[in-house]
A = this chain, B = another copy of it.
């Protein structure tokens, strides 16, 4: 199964090797197989959801035996965590790309573009979205590895929020309570806490709307979901910049 890999490695070792990281054949094979495991697991999740993910089924698809998977992931939870990290990264990348593609427009358009991009990704990968923003598995505690990829999208939203604050007339906003103001000042020092609070409200609204739609709570209520979501974004953007 891995013979082609091994032979490829031999060639690499014999010929001129520009790779700065001299990966041994085993290390290469290991990375390759780890990727294949994650890929098929992701495929299974896309079809049947996270709770139905079975190590044995993944192993069967890969032509190996279930116990062999434990060489690569110490437990089912570990595999799920790896997929969660990847999903966080994917949604972060989608948001960044949408922001960049709209960076010439005004900040409101950037927020709208990011919102639509995130929703589009969620609709295209519902089970992965559920993995990240749905209810976590009962005993699951987010390992530290997830914190960094999770911050990618919030960074994008914060950036857009700053841009909005810069380009539009500052609106008179209600001051958050002292504790909240201090906490928001800690995570966004260059923004007035009232503005950051408004951004988090918009964040909650955005993910709330996507979750409501994806988890079936808009069924027989709203049908043209594209238009509805766009209007919600309009309301949020309007609230950002409408002067009192």
Contact = CB atoms under 8 A, between A and B. Distances in A.
Given A134-B134, A177-B227, A212 B204 contact: yes
A90 interface: no
A204 B209 contact: yes
Given A198-B235, A232-B201, A135 B215 contact: yes
20 contacts: A49-B135, A49-B137, A52-B138, A133-B215, A134-B134, A136-B215, A177-B224, A177-B231, A179-B223, A184-B222, A187-B221, A197-B228, A197-B232, A198-B235, A200-B222, A200-B232, A206-B208, A207-B208, A207-B212, A242-B244
Nearest to A154: B221
Contacts of A242: 244
Question: Which applies to chain A's interface (DSSP): helix, strand, loop or mixed?
Answer: helix
Contacts of A236: 201
Given A179-B227, A207-B212, A221-B183, A235 B135 contact: no
Contacts of A208: 203-209, 211
Nearest to A142: B216
Please give the count of copies of this chain that the complex contains. 2
A190 interface: no
A130 interface: yes
Contacts of A52: 138-139
A51 B137 contact: yes
Contacts of A205: 201, 204-205, 208
A174 interface: yes
A222 B138 contact: no
A228 B180 contact: yes
A234 interface: yes
Contact of A142 (B51, B197, B211, B219): B219
Interface string A36-49: 00000000000011
Given A134-B135, A150-B217, A232 B211 contact: no
A238 interface: yes
A180 B136 contact: no
A176 B161 CA distance: 24
Contacts of A136: 215-216
Contacts of A238: 174
A167 interface: no
A230 B177 contact: yes
A137 B216 CA distance: 12
